[in-house]
């Protein structure tokens, strides 16, 4: 009887592990830039992240953070306008490409609130402390989870705009 209980416990654990998605950084790149409005400069980033093994519940990224700057995820739709995230799905793997950046006009206000949107809405700091380049906040099975992007794989040459 004990071997059957042990086998049942092991199988239950394997089923639970199999239902947790695997999150993997596929690619990351950055490009420094300057120009445009007088004295403006910053860095543009692209991050490609794959979620696999999630079953029927697709993980839903809602925000990505670069430093303490939050960028709400806006998925590309059929019109292809006003998006910063592209999702591709193949089988049991969803791949997201996040596009965002920072510039010298992103300034933190006192008390941990950053006001950088043109409409004046406030954004709080990243929900957890993290080390790395970026943080992705996503929902899976009703829980909020985090994935840290800790490295830039490809640094592109700087771009200077007139």
Residues with Cβ < 8 Å from 96, sequence gap 6 or more?
A: 48, 49, 50, 51, 61, 85, 86, 87
Residue 123 pLDDT > 80: no
Segment 58-79, tens digit of pLDDT? 899 999 999 888 999 999 887 7
Residue 83 has pLDDT above 80, yes or no: yes
| Digit-coded pLDDT (tens) for 126-157 | 899 999 999 999 999 889 999 999 999 999 99
User: How far is it, in rounded angstroms, from Cα 45 to Cα 95?
Assistant: 16
Question: Can you give the pTM of this predicted structure?
Answer: 0.76
CB of 147 closer than 8 Å to CB of 128 = no
């Amino acid at each position: 009887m004990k071997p059957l209980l042990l086998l049942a416990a092991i199988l239950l654990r394997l089923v639970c592990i199999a239902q947790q998605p695997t999150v993997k950084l596929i690619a990351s790149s950055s490009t420094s830039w300057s120009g445009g409005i007088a004295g403006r400069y910053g860095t543009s980033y692209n991050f490609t992240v794959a979620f696999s093994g999630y079953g029927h519940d697709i993980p839903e990224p809602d925000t990505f953070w670069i430093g303490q700057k939050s960028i709400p995820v806006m998925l590309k739709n059929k019109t292809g306008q006003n998006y910063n995230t592209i999702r591709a799905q193949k089988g049991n793997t969803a791949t997201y490409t996040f596009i965002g950046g920072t510039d010298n006009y992103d300034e933190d206000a006192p008390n941990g609130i950053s006001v950088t949107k043109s409409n004046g809405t406030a954004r709080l700091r990243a929900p957890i402390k993290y080390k790395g380049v970026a943080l992705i906040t996503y929902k899976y099975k009703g829980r909020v989870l985090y994935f840290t992007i800790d490295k830039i794989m490809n640094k592109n040459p700087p771009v200077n705009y007139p």
